[in-house]
């Protein structure tokens, strides 16, 4: 039977790490990369594994995750964060997908050609499983053959890169994502928006005043309408506004890194703002009618909303 190593990278996760570790006690090996926590994270982990490695708390999180992979001795690796849980159903599916040594040698088992698996992920945000398209099924490549995968180390939001073929699992990983507004704001400021702002700077994309409007508006329309955030009710509405706020912070951080480039007021500026918001109003109507049409319960209503939408086409 092939052995499985679980690699977890964590920083100050004393409230979450134990439940994560409990969900993978069945694994052949658990490796914790402690990113210089100043709480009880490492002490709690000692109850479940002796393989604890301390690393600096680097802003590029993927560096420490790859370090953990290099310490794994199992044939296969499961990569986890402290706020993720492997369910019994996912454990069973993972074990069923590992081909036997004999099947690999004979080359007759289709699974033997697979070096990595994408796992669907249930995001629990503010106490609710968010099922809109932006958050579900949220496939993550987290189960892979040792030596065949690693994270890129350029940006935070990157998937493990696999050498060879990949496939998908059916059972989901549970992700207790944002449990509070404070947590969302902290990660947004310290990790995600900083990384995204730097990515824009490296691309040498020139930003203007219109981006201060379009960044948040486009993200709200995409999250709430295009990706069906409205189906999550109040949670979906709030998360869409938070995503818009996130996008605005990205713009401001780029602007800050560029030295707060000034645009002096001229007589056309206010008129240009007005024209932009008129376009936004038409886009909002277009997406609202599109959503009405998609949610309509009968053919007559769908036809009606389609006709109304013709008057509010996007630019």
Give tens-digit pLDDT for 156-201: 778 999 999 999 999 999 999 999 999 999 999 988 999 899 989 9
For the chain, domains (ranges, CATH) are 4-176 (3.90.550.10), 181-312 (no CATH)
Residue 204 vs residues 198, 262, 282, 309: alpha-carbon distances, Å: 10, 18, 31, 37
In which band, very low, low, confident or very high, does the pLDDT at 110 lie, cut at 50, 70 and 90?
low
Would you state the pLDDT for residue 101?
Answer: 38
CA–CA separation, 25 and 22 (whole Å): 5
User: What percentage of residues in the chain have a pLDDT greater than 90?
Assistant: 77
SS3 letters across 178-221: CCCHHHHHHHHHHHHHHHHHHHHHHCCCCCCHHHHHHHHHHHHH
Q: pLDDT at residue 104 above 80?
A: no
Would you state the pLDDT for residue 158?
Answer: 86
45-98 residue pLDDT tens: 999 999 999 999 988 889 999 999 999 999 999 999 999 999 999 999 999 998
Q: What is the mean pLDDT of residues 139-155?
A: 94
239-248 residue pLDDT tens: 999 999 999 9
């Amino acid at each position: 039977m092939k052995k499985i190593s679980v690699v977890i990278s964590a920083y100050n996760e004393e409230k979450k790490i134990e439940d994560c570790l409990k969900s993978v006690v069945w694994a052949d090996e658990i490796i914790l990369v402690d990113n210089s926590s100043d709480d009880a994270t490492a002490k709690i982990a000692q109850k479940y594994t002796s393989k604890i490695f301390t690393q600096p708390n680097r802003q590029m999180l993927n560096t420490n995750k790859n370090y953990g992979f290099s310490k794994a001795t199992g044939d296969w690796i499961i990569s986890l964060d402290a706020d993720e849980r492997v369910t019994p159903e996912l454990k069973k599916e993972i074990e069923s997908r590992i081909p036997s040594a004999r099947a690999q040698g004979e080359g007759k088992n289709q699974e033997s050609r697979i070096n990595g698996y994408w796992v669907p992920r249930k995001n629990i945000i503010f106490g609710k499983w968010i099922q809109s398209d932006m958050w579900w099924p949220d496939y993550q490549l987290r189960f892979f053959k040792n030596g065949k995968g690693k994270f890129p180390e350029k940006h935070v939001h990157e998937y493990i890169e696999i050498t060879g073929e990949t496939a998908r699992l059916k059972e989901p990983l549970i992700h207790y994502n944002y449990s509070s507004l404070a947590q969302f704001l902290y990660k947004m400021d310290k990790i995600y928006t900083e990384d995204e702002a730097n990515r824009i700077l490296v691309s040498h994309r020139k930003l203007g005043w219109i981006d201060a409007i379009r960044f948040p508006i486009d993200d709200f329309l995409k999250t709430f309408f295009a990706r069906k955030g409205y189906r999550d009710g109040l949670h979906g509405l709030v998360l869409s506004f938070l995503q818009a706020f996130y996008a605005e912070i990205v713009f401001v951080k780029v602007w800050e890194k560029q030295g707060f480039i000034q645009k002096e007021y001229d007589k056309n500026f206010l008129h240009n703002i007005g024209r932009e918001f008129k376009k936004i109003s038409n886009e909002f109507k277009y997406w609202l009618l599109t959503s009405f049409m998609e949610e309509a319960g009968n053919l007559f209503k769908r036809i009606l909303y389609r006709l109304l939408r013709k008057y509010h086409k996007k630019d």
